[in-house]
Structure formats: C-alpha cells, structure tokens
Chain A
Amino acid sequence: MPLLEVKDLHTSFFTRDGVVRAVDGVSFELNAGETLGLVGESGCGKSVTALSLMRLIPMPPGKITEGQIVFDGTDVLQMDDDDVRGIRGNNIAMIFQDPMTSLNPVLTISRQISEALELHLKMDRSEARKRTTELLELVGIPSAGKRLDDYPHQFSGGMRQRVMIAMALSCNPKLILADEPTTALDVTIQAQILDLLKNLAREFRTAFILITHDLGVVAGMTQRIHVMYAGRIVEKADTGELFANPKMPYTWGLLRSIPRLDERRKERLVPIEGLPPDLIAPPPGCRFEPRCQYRRDLCREREPELASVPGAKPDHQARCHGTQAGGWLVDLDWRSEIGDVRVLEEIKQEVAAVPAEAARLGAADLTPREGP
C-alpha cells in the first residue's frame, strides 16, 4: 500500500471573478521513502496541491471540492480537525520557500523547533531543548548548543532554511513537503540545502515531495517527476526517463529554457511564449494548446487523457494527443525539431495582439494566491 494516495483532487478558490480551479483533478501515489518532484510554472497549482495535502487551504475562499487524500490508510479529507492537527508536523511536515518570513521574528530558534516536539511527542522543556540541539547539529549548524536562544534575524538565509529543515524533521515525519525550498537562496547555498535534504531523507527513509519550477533542482534529487500545468498533471515519469525522453511539448519547453553550461549552444534559450491560461475559464481542449507550437485542430477540440505513450517506459504517462499512440509527434526529436515556425509566429502574434489580455492574465495569476 502506498504511503500517500491522491485521487482526483480538486481545489478551487471562490473569488469575485469566478471559481479559480487551482488544482483540477490531480492523482498520484507516493510510497514510503520515495521522492517525488512536482514541477511547473508559477500559478500551475503545485503549492495549492501541497497545502491541500495538509488541509491548509485558507477557507474561505478556498475549498477542496472533490477527491481523496489517503495518507497511511486514512482519508485526510474525512478527518476531524484534531486528527488533522495530529498529522501536521508529526507525520507530514512542510518546508517553505522563504526562510526569511516563515520563522517567527520574536521567538527564539529553540522555541520554534521544540513546538512540534512539545505538541506531538509530549516532551518537556529540557528534553525538547536537548533534542533541538541534536536536530540543529544534524542539519549542520555549528556550535548548535550556543545558538538555541538566538533569534531568527541572527541567522543567515541558508542557516534559517537549515532551521526550517530541522523543524520539519523534528518528529521524524513520514512525509516532508518541500515547497520551493531553495528559491530564496543563492546558488551555492541551494546546492548545500538540496544535498542536506537528500541525505537526511535517505538516512531517515522519509518520503518527500519537492515542489519547484526549476527542473534543474529536481534532476539529482527525486526518483520520479510529475509535471504540472494549469492545475493538472501533464506528464509523469521517472526522473531519468523524463530528462532523456520527455513526451509532452510543455516539458520540452521547460527543458529548452534551462540554460546549459556543459554545451556550447549557438542558439538562444527558447522561452515558452505566452502565459499560463486563466484558471477561471481554461481552454476547452488541451490546456497547453494556446502556447503549443505543435498543435493541431484536435487539440483545441478535446482534452487528451493522461495515458501511456509509445516509445517510452510503461509507467511514463503524458497528456498529449501528439505523442500518444497514433499521434503526429511520436517519432519527433524534440531537440532538433522546434515545431512549426508558422504556428510559432502565430502564437507570438496572438500574444502580442492582446496586451490587455496578457496584463489581465498577469494580474489574475497573482489574485488566486497560492496559499496564505
């Protein structure tokens, strides 16, 4: 039995302008000790998915309208509030994007880390302090014992993220949700923090879900990757398979936009034109169709299912008419073939023709806030 089973999760935000379907039918599984990457542009529903798993969607305006989240055999969505609190921090922990704002500025580090210990493991102050020191040593904070009574502002960004990791690890959770854990850090610190996360997860056999917009971050970190777009999972594959043999034009776009240092590239980075769709009124067909340079009429008419694709491993699934059996992209080499130039021009024109629309989309992208 998998540790976590998410079935057909729908999370919506009921705003003045309409219902924003931030997560729209997401299903995935995660085994104990397994690592999963959730990748996609900002505003595609990654963070909302993570917050939904812990039932932390601000209500109102948010609401989990459909689906099941089975964690360790029980449906989180059916639990009462006390039981959910018992899971938070104890069985599922979360690491946030910005360590500068996710630590309370007026509480000492030790008080913040021991919070979960006191709540869930019923430790008293001195036990909790001892354990806190161990945790801080574990995440690589030098002379941890002396820094227990320091305040967050006395730590650097990287150190604070280590503190956040210590907080997440404190009760030995079975699952850690890391929501863009390195986005706010500089590159050298990013690598350290990712290494630390990876090693600790391996050491404690903790499953974790790494949420990021950066495919480069998940590359060495996770066993599997799910690519999300506009509230849906559009491609699922093992990490190696996804990088070697991606089967969805959106993933191609993401991969093309990673700068590579190991290759002397002559052409410029290729961005994905346009913006993610308005989640109040998503496109009728494939959600990526308006930005896809490989599109055909079929794409606009009917949304493809998430299904296995030919020429790939059996558990590799993609949501694309073109790469599915009988499609026109099955044998395409995505690296050399950047699609129909005419269509590409068309998309550019469409994007340019509606600057107001683009501005509105940009604003709409901000209003359905991802989490509180």
Chain B
Amino acid sequence: MASAAAESLVAGVRGSRRASAGLWSDAWWRIRHDRVTIAAFVVLAVLVVLALAADVLADHVFHMKFEDQELLKAYAKPTLDPLAYMLGADEIGRSQVVRLLYGGRVSLAVAFLASLINMTVGIAIGLSAGYYRGVWDDIVTWSVTTLNSIPTLYLLLIFAGLFTPGPPVLIAVLGFLIWTGIANFVRGQTFALREREFVTAARTVGASQARIMIRHILPNILPLIFVLAAIDAGGIILIESALSYLGLGITPPTPSWGNMLTNAASYFVRAWWLVVSPGVMIFLTVLSLYLIGDGLRDALDPRLRGSR
C-alpha cells in the first residue's frame, strides 16, 4: 500500500516535471490551454476537411457538380429544397455551396503551398545570408530591399500579366514574392545566434557549416518562423482574393473564394447573399490563421512565459 502510494506520488511529481519539460512540450501544453487558439485550429480544420471532401459532398449530399447550371434557378434565394441551393444560386443557377467547397480547395491550397514555398525560400536565403555574411549577404539584402520597395500588388500584376493565371502559377508567384519577410527575420536571428558559444561548441565537435546551420541554429528560430508563416498564409489568401477581384487570379469557371466574391459583387443588389458566403469563408480562414499565429507566438516565445 505504502509503496504504491509512494509510487503514484513519484509518478505525479515526474508528470508535473514533464509538463514543464522542453520547449515543444511546454508549447503544446500552453496551446491546449488556450481556447481561442484551439477554436481557430478547429475552424481551420473544418474548412480544410470540407474542401477536401468537396467531391464526396457534391455527389452524395448536394447531387450537383460545381459547373452544373440551371438557368431557371438563377439568383435563387437560399432554400433547403433542394439542398444544393442552401446558400442560393448564382447568376446562371450554379449551386453556391458546392462552388464554395471547390473554391475552398483552390484558395486553401494556394495559401498553404505558397506559404510553404515562402517558408522554404525565406529560411534558405535568410539562414545562409546570416551565416556566411559577406558578399552573399549584400546581394540578399539588396534584393530584399528592392523587392520590399515595390508594392507587392504591382509586382503581382506584372507577373499575372506575364503568365497565364492558374493555381500552380499563382502558388509559385506568391511563394517567390512574399519570402522577404521571413528571410529578413531569419537573417537577423542567424546573425545573433552564430556568435553564441554553443555554435563554437558545435564547431569544436567537428560539425560542418551546413550541419551547424540546420541542426544548431535553425531549431532556435523555427518556432517563430511557423508563426510568421501562419500570418503570411492569411495574407496570401487576401492577396489571392485581391488578384481574383482584379481578374488576374484564378479565372472562371474554376471557382476560388476570390473570384466568386468578385463575380457576386456585380449582382450585390439583386443577390446580396452571394457576396456574403465567400466573404465569410475568407474572413474565417484569415482570422483563424492570424489567431493560430498569435497563439503559437504566445506559446513559443519564452519572454511571454507566465503571462497567462
């Protein structure tokens, strides 16, 4: 009995010690106790699942494909009969809800993939510039300042004019144009970290430069990069909508939240609900991404520890 009690006590003590263990487990503990962030995660997850399940839902629930038209039902008000018009029908009688699901695919894929490219390029360039310094750093700094000094939208307009807009092109263009923020941040952090003693210690062990950058310096910056990337992803969705709004993003008939919003704006007086639904989707996604970014920062930034 006594020994069992002692054992459970020890287990309890160990458990509590584990709870305050490393950076990641500590961050995980904080996020689990952060209801706003959890809610944002859930909302985003639901949106992703709905977008991924668009085919299944269109076939089995709404019985309507995204390109199916029914001109007699044009501008139909939201109704539950048939279910496909639960969010109304657009100007040529296509199901708004089904198009919204497919549009989510495009918009979310563009956001996540462009964000991934953004992160990869930003980390690679920032890390190497901060670590090697010298001429390479000068070139990077020059490019970053140049890119930053041109308003992003103009750059995107140029690119959108040069290439035929479509999801892959949009992903590549957005990913390769947004990286300056992350690159700048990573470069600055690397500057400071490369002078730390543990980097010298890693060198005395015989680690190569690539190993020092990737295994010793990068893990120190990665948490904050995730935060920046989450915020950038929100920004990318907004840029995609803006481009689609200008007719330079995803072109119909492929739906994206951005071009649906653009399209519906012309019929705002006649069917205002067509504007509301893609707007709400963009709003929810961007808000969730910002909240997740914010929550991650709170959870991972050691200076904010104990503030909650």
A binding-site residues for B, Cβ under 8 Å = 54, 56, 85-90, 93-94, 96, 98, 101-108, 115-116, 119-120, 149-151, 154, 164, 167, 371-372
Contact = CB atoms under 8 A, between A and B. Distances in A.
Given A108-B22, A119-B211, 18 more contacts: A56-B200, A56-B204, A85-B207, A86-B206, A89-B206, A93-B204, A102-B198, A103-B201, A106-B219, A107-B216, A115-B215, A119-B205, A120-B206, A150-B22, A151-B22, A154-B21, A371-B200, A372-B195
Contact of B197 (A87, A98, A107): A98
B205 A96 contact: no
A82 to B, nearest CB: 9
Interface string B194-220: 011111111111111001000110011
Contacts of B46: none
A104 B220 contact: yes
A355 B202 CA distance: 41
Contacts of A54: 204
Nearest to B221: A106
A104 B216 contact: yes
Nearest to B22: A151
A88 B198 contact: no
Contacts of B196: 101
B53 interface: no
Contact of A89 (B21, B23, B200, B204): B204
Contacts of B203: 56, 88
Interface string B174-204: 0000000000000000000001111111111
A167 B21 CA distance: 22
A101 B200 CA distance: 10
Contact of B207 (A94, A98, A119, A371): A119
B202 A151 contact: no
Given A85-B208, A119-B207, A151-B21, A104 B202 contact: yes
Taking residues whose C-beta sits less than 8 angstroms from the other chain, chain B's interface range is: 20 to 34
User: Which DSSP category, helix, strand, loop or mixed, fits chain A's interface?
Assistant: loop
Nearest to B217: A104
Contact of B201 (A85, A96, A150): A96
Contact of B202 (A90, A106, A108, A115): A115
Contacts of A56: 200, 203-204
Contacts of B219: 104, 106-107
Interface string B229-256: 0000000000000000000000000000
A151 B23 CA distance: 8
10 contacts: A56-B200, A85-B208, A88-B205, A101-B196, A101-B198, A107-B219, A116-B205, A120-B206, A150-B22, A371-B200
A90 B198 contact: no
Contacts of A85: 206-208
Nearest to A111: B215
A116 B206 contact: yes
Contacts of B22: 106, 108, 149-151
The 6 closest A-B pairs by CB, nearest first: A89-B205, A88-B206, A89-B206, A94-B204, A101-B197, A102-B197
Contacts of A371: 200
A90 B215 CA distance: 19
Contacts of B202: 104, 115
A372 B215 CA distance: 19
Nearest to B193: A104
Contacts of B201: 94, 96, 102-104, 164, 167
B205 A150 contact: no
A119 B201 CA distance: 14
B22 to A, nearest CB: 5
B165 to A, nearest CB: 41
A371 B197 CA distance: 9
A96 B199 CA distance: 12
Nearest to A371: B200
A154 B14 CA distance: 13
A106 B200 contact: no
The residue in A93, A104, A105 that gathers the most chain B C-beta atoms within 10 A of its C-beta is: A104
Contact of B220 (A102, A105, A154): A105
Contacts of A151: 21-23
Nearest to A113: B205
A120 B208 CA distance: 12
Contacts of B205: 88-89, 93, 115-116, 119, 167
Nearest to B17: A154
A105 B23 CA distance: 9
Nearest to A107: B219
A103 B195 CA distance: 13
Contacts of A106: 22-23, 219-220
Contact of A88 (B23, B195, B204): B204
A151 B206 CA distance: 22
Nearest to B216: A104
Contacts of A149: 22
Contacts of A104: 198, 201-202, 216, 219-220
Contacts of A101: 196-198
Interface string B13-25: 0000000011100
